Amino acid sequence: MSKVRVAGFSLSIDGFGAGPEQSLNDPLGKRGPELFEWFFPTRTFQAMLGKEGGSEGVDEKYASSGNTGFGAFILGRNMFGPVRGQWPDEAWKGWWGDTPPYHAPTFILTHYPRAPVVMEGGTTFHFVTDGIEPALTQARAAAGTKDIKIGGGVSTVRQYLRAGLVDEMHFAISPVVLGRGEAMFAGIDLPSLGFRVAAHEATEKATHIVLKK
């Protein structure tokens, strides 16, 4: 049976999954890219850019597993773009250009309806206005036997965690202290939700933690 997973999600040592003040120029918030220094050199990320080569090893292992084997994705609206409120038009189609990295049906949580957006490479963005559980129902139907990835941001992961709908999580804890931003675990009791540490591996640029029920 397919699983609902959080994977390849970077956090600072003080638990922030994005910096403050997200904008068109800072899609990850101020200093947000520092959380992904483990990911950028990997073969997986280089392939996303259409390049060859890239690092191997532990960081690449988690980069690859966090971006393969998924039949559907769920994202919060902030992960799709900086636009707030009603859609002013249909010009904005995500941060990623014509070929987003998902290559599968991708469900965007929003309060404002919009027609699906078909992109190159197999990604179609579907906009879900009636909550996290209907989005998951649609994602399960689209994914078939493959897993579903809760791709973020922090608020979206927290909502699915609180609802008991996440089966497994991988966090890459980067050696960075942000001080402020979006806190992943504030007010969340992971043991009471059934999670335990199933694996941990450290590299120069991240400590990889896998949590399973």
Which of 1, 7, 3, 2 minimizes the C-alpha distance to 166? 3
Rounded Cα distance between 1 and 38, Å, is 31
pLDDT at 160: 98
Cis-peptide, bond into residue 152, ω within 30° of zero: no
CB neighbourhood size of 192 (10 A):
7
**The pLDDT value given to residue 22:** 83
Could you give the CA distance from residue 128 to residue 159 in angstroms, rounded to a whole number? 15
Tally the residues of the chain.
213
Buried b (16+ CB within 10 A) or exposed e, 102-140: bbbbbbbbbeeeeeebebeeebebbbbeeebeebbebbe
pLDDT (tens digit, 9 = 90+) per residue, 132-172?
999 999 999 999 999 999 999 999 999 999 999 999 999 99
In this prediction, residue 163 carries a pLDDT of 97
Neighbouring C-beta atoms of residue 55, cutoff 10 Å? 19
pLDDT, tens digit, for every residue of 19-46? 888 888 888 889 999 999 999 999 999 9
pLDDT tens digit sequence for 171-208 = 999 999 999 989 999 999 999 999 999 999 999 999 99
